[in-house]
Amino acid sequence: MSNQIKRKIVKEIKVDVDKCIGCRACEVACSGFHASPKYSSFNPSRSRIRVVIDLLNDVYVPVRAGEYTPAECSGRHSFKINGKQYSECSFCPSSCPSRDLFKEPDSGLPLKCDLCEDVPALAVPMCVQVCRVGALAYEEREEEREEETKLGEMEIGLQSLINRHGLQKILDTVARMAKKG
């Protein structure tokens, strides 16, 4: 297998927790955008971004839904912010069996941020658009990545023959066959 350098557009939303004021406009906008039909309902429990709010400690952390994990993780770390301890689960982006966060409330199906379905007309995702204080920033950048080139069926067959018999033996056999043919 050979490696190839490919250019890829990487899209991400950067979060600046110091700017977040916990207004939850991002939750409302996300749930409205993903309602069916669009904007027919606004329910933060259907949002793919949730804001962890700790009013007493003035801590607001927007977390976007990531991958579904079918099993509880074994991580038991904790975070300390302004002297207060938070469990690892507080800022975890996954929907998992041990909590209801990032699950569609009616069906229980996992929710994942899809960057607003990658709609080209939507230059900036909804949550970023409505965040008036700039706590969320959308970024697109081009990156070069090394990717494995997948072999075709014939190449895979040849590769396994070469691995088994050695290149020279295969070449001799092909030359012999060509002469006969």
Residues within the interface to ligand SF4 (CB under 6 A): 20-26, 29-30, 33, 48-49, 51, 60, 62, 64, 113-116, 125-127, 130-131, 133, 135-136
Residue (49 or 96) nearer to ligand SF4, CB: 49
Residue (23 or 170) nearer to ligand SF4, CB: 23
d(CA 132, CA 124): 13
Which DSSP string corresponds to 78-112? EEEETTEEEEGGGG---B-TT--TTB-TTT--B--
Residue (124 or 162) nearer to ligand SF4, CB: 124
d(CA 8, CA 81): 36
CB of 160 to ligand SF4, least distance (A): 43
Residue (60 or 101) nearer to ligand SF4, CB: 60
CB of 59 to ligand SF4, least distance (A): 11
Residue (96 or 116) nearer to ligand SF4, CB: 116
| Backbone φ and ψ of 31, nearest 5° | -65, -35
CB of 12 to ligand SF4, least distance (A): 10
- Return the half-sphere exposure (C-beta side, CA atoms, 13 A cut-off) of residue 19: 11
CB of 25 to ligand SF4, least distance (A): 4
CB of 11 to ligand SF4, least distance (A): 9
Provide the strand spans (E) within 29-176. 49-54, 59-64, 78-81, 84-87, 136-148
